[in-house]
Each structure stands twice: as C-alpha cells, then as structure tokens.
Structure 1
Amino acid sequence: MTRVFGEVAAIYDEARQGYPDEALGAVTAFHGGRPASVADVGAGTGKATELLLRLGVPVTAVEPDPRMAAVLTKKFPQVEVANAAFEEWTPPPGGVGLLACATAWHWMDERSRERLARAALLPRGTLAIFHNSHGYAVPRQQDTVDAILQAIDPTPSIDDRQVDWARVGIERSGLFTDVEVHQWHRFPVLSKEQYLRLLSTFSNFRNHSARDQRAAVTNLGAAIDGWGGAVEMDILTVLVLARAA
C-alpha cells in the first residue's frame, strides 16, 4: 500500500491539500528557531516539503515510490531525494534537526517507527507528525459520503481514529519528551470534478475493484449533483510535535 499512490501521482499532487502556514510557525516555535537540517519521510509528491523548504535549510525527502518522488523532484530540484522506505533509509551521520512525516506515519512500521525516528534525530531534535483528516462541513454530506464509501469498504479509515492518534505511540515509546498537539480547520468548497479527483487518491477507494470504484463514483456524483454540484469540506490538520529525549 505504500506504493499505491504512485499510480495517480500527478492527480495526488493536484488534488490533495497541503498544510497551513500556521503549522510551520508551530514547528519553528517548538524547535526554538530553524533546525540545521530537515528530513521529510514518506514525502510523496512534496505537499509538506513545500512548507518545510521555507525554513531555508537543507531538506532531504525520503519517498519509496519513484513515481511520487519524480513529481517532487520536478517541483523542487533543490531537494535531495532518497528513493527508499523510511525503514530502509540511512540518516546522515549525527542525525537531522527536524524529522517530519506528513500523512504517512500510519504507513510506517508500527513496531519501529518511533525508534527509527529517534535514531535519525540529533539530541533534542524535533519530531513533527502532520496529517490531514478529510471531513465534511455539512452533516448530511458527511453522512451520505460515509454511507457510499462504507458500502465498498466498511474498514475504518485513518480519518476515523482519534485526531491525535500519533501522540499515543510517541508518548508510549519513552523516546521523546515535551509532546504537543496542534489543530487547524480549513473549509474548501470543491466542485464535483475536484472532489472525485480527490477521492481517486484515497487508499480506501483505490484498494478496491474497478467495479466498486465505478459504483462509488456514480453514487457520489449523483449525490453531489443533488447538492448543487459542490462539496463543502472540513480539512482538519493535526500536528504532533515531540523532542528527542
């Protein structure tokens, strides 16, 4: 599943939301200024890399899918790209000042991700785990979308977990201190075409047969038409920050 998004890398880059400016301010304040270097693990097409580059320090993007990495490289040629899984990546000697992971922490090995993150960081370095949770500002739209998607996949998605789920593993590991959680809401309005392109990048949609996908698209398209052709999203960005012990 860590490579499923490469099949739609260009659509993913176009359709997925980035991260709010406030997140960068929270990272910088927590770290106590700009880190000396940054690693963006599970970087995808660079949705968080774009934000992290504004720190003005060297950024290494770690991404296992070459198709996703190719989009990132085209957008940000100044970024060093390591085409590897986080679990297989060798951090620079001494570690990095900031290790970030954006909407990919749940794809990392649960048995080792905190340990690997701590090993990749300088002493007192910062771990920053971002994720965007896709909700809906209008309750009836939320209920309808949930029903249509659950018809093809009743398995709870990442968006169904408690919003700060990453905090639990970080605190339990005993490898980090000073854990903080920040949240921001954004409310973009998407046209039917924009929403269906976004849907095509969700793993709980892509992991199903073409027949199931067509059924979901047909039913969602009809529902959106009934809402006047638009979906009112509620994108919740959650940022978990922690300091290497």
Structure 2
Amino acid sequence: MSGRALSFGAMAYAYERFRPGYPDRLFDMVASYAGRPLRTALEIGAGTGKATRLFARRGVAVTATEPDEAMLAELRKHVPAHVATVRAAFEDVREGERYGLVYAAAALHWTDPQGRWSRVAGLLEPGGVFASFGGPFRLADPAVEEAVRAARAPFLESDEIPSPDGTPPEHTMQWPGTELQRSEWFTDVRQALIERHLTIGARDYVGHLSTVSAYLVLPAAARRQAFDRIARVLPERVGITADLTVHLARRHDER
C-alpha cells in the first residue's frame, strides 16, 4: 500500500470533521440494483465510517475493514454497535465468509490491482453485488478554482488522483467500470451519477484539503504554506460540486 494510502491516520479527526457523508439515495440506488434485500456487506477501506453509517442504519450487517487504527478508532465513535470492525488492508482480509455486497467508498484506488477482482468475487455470494462510489470535491466557481490552482502551484500541480487505469476523463465509462467490464468475474456493469452541490465556509474548504492525500504527503512546512496561500484567495463562502460517480456490478454466477 502506498504512502499516500497510509497518510490519513494522523488526520482521522479532520477526515471525520470535513469530509461529507453519503446521501440516502445512494443506498437506494445500490439496493435497487441488487434486486434483493441487502443483509450483509463488507466495506473496503472504511475510513471513519462515512459510508458505513449509511448502510448500517438501513439494516445491513456491515463488516468495516480499514488498515489504519486511528481511522478505525474514529469510526467506532460514530457507527452503530452492531457494525463489525477489522483492522486490515483489503489484500489481508481473510477469505471464508461471503457477503451479499462488497463496496468501497472513495477507497478502491488504494487497493492492489493484482488479483483485485478475483478477491472481490471470492468475498461475494453467488449473484452478489459490488459497488464503488466517490468523486472529486471541486470548487464550483471557475474563477475561484483558477485562483486556488495558482496559489497551490508552487507545491502541487494537481491535488486530484488520476484514473488508475489511465482512462481519459471524457470517456463515457470511467474506472473502475472499465476494469469491471474487462473482468471475467463480473457482469451487468453500470455507471451512474448522483449530483451533490454544497456551500461551505472557506475554513471548512481548507479543512477538507487537509484530508487530501496529495497535501498530506507534502513536508509539513510546505503544506502549511500551501494552505495559507489558498486561504488568502478564497471568498468567505465557496460553492462545491461533490458529485458521486457510482459503479455497480454483479458477480458472475457461472464463476
């Protein structure tokens, strides 16, 4: 697992404070696709449990896996007591039990691509469902976005994570749907968009940046300078586009 993937633990409180949760319509989309009651789920890279709460409060017995103990400790403060927690990277999750749903909330890109889909399939019941969802947290005003880009330029060219398989952003099907379509383990691959528009204070926006891996791996002094420069160009409140791209797939029953 990369240094960026393991950079979140020190910021577990900030991650909980500044990252938005997930809307009920996301659960409804996954449940509708599944076409049967979602009783059990394994979550990959649960973080502080933003998505865990959504599925658990809708009656799903969630097993939340997360390699970082600080993140898991924060998660345990916020999720129902019946949520099972396992400190493990996805690659270290013990096989044996199978689930109706395996899902990842803005975490799948941290997993090892080698054997990724055979491992997911091995954790699913026959006909079980995989879901991945997430998306960039972008400033809605192009002028503000340009000012922030210029402010961070001495430290970072971009703070977004590029497509893991190099799929251009203009392509209709995005990663991981592209990999799922090529996989022998899955069928009925779908991609959907849930639009989210937020307005937050400038300090909360900088707080959100403090949870982004591209900044977390900067030297501490450079990170502080970058945040100071960004804060100076922000208006008091900023509009945010935080759309979720959802990928769904079904385990191939013949495998």
> Which range, TM-score by smaller chain?
over 0.9
Q: Please, which of 187, 199, 205 is the counterpart of residue 189 of structure 1?
A: 199
After the TM superposition, which of the residue ranges 157-166 and 47-56 deviates more from structure 2? Answer: 157-166
Match status 1:126 vs 2:118: no
Q: Say which SS state the counterpart of residue 44 (structure 1) adopts.
A: coil
Letter in 1 for 2:5: T
After superposition, the Cα gap between the structure-2 partners of 1:219 and 1:242, relative to the gap in structure 1 and judged at 3 Å, is same
Native 8 Å contact 2:159 2:215 kept in 1: no
Identical aligned residues as a percent? 32
Alignment gaps of 5+ in structure 1: none
More helix by share: 1
Q: In the TM superposition, what whole-angstrom CA distance separates every residue of 1:169-224 from its partner, at most 9, and x where no partner exists? A: 11112211001111122121111211111110000111101222122111111101
Q: Output the TM-score relative to the length of structure 1.
A: 0.92
Aligned residue identity for 2:238? V
Q: Does 2:93 correspond to 1:89? A: yes
- The reply on whether 1:80 has 2:90 as its aligned counterpart is no
The answer to whether the Cα contact below 8 Å between 1:34 and 1:55 also exists between their aligned partners in 2 is: no
| Matched residue SS, 1:177 | strand
- Aligned partner (choices 11, 17, 36) of residue 33 of structure 1: 36
- Tell me which amino acid in the other structure corresponds to 2:131: A
Equivalent position of 2:246 in the other structure: 239
Find out whether 1:169 has 2:179 as its counterpart.
yes
The Cα of 1:164 is off from its aligned counterpart by 2.7
SS of the equivalent of 2:243 reads: strand
**3-state SS in 1 of match to 2:53:** helix
Aligned length: 241
Aligned to 2:114: 111
Give the whole-Å Cα distance in 2 for the aligned partners of 1:216 and 1:141. 15
Paired residue for 1:7?
A: 10
Deviation of the 1:4 alpha carbon = 1.1
Q: State whether structure 2 residue 53 is matched by structure 1 residue 50.
A: yes
User: Residues 131 and 208 (structure 1 numbering): CA distance in 2 closer, same or farther, change over 3 Å?
Assistant: same
In the aligned structure 1, how far is the partner of 2:129 from the partner of 2:35?
10
Distance in 2, Cα, partners of 1:101 & 1:220: 30
The Cα RMSD (Å) is 1.7
Q: Residue 134 of structure 1 contacts residue 159 of structure 1 at CA under 8 Å; is this kept in 2?
A: no
Distance 2:211 2:64 in 1: 20
Q: Which moved more, 1:123-132 or 1:143-152?
A: 143-152
Q: 2:241 is matched by which residue type in structure 1? A: D
Instruction: Say if 1:129 and 1:140 are closer, same or farther in 2 by CA, change over 3 A.
Output: same
CA distance change for structure 1 residues 151 and 184 in 2, over 3 Å: closer, same or farther?
farther
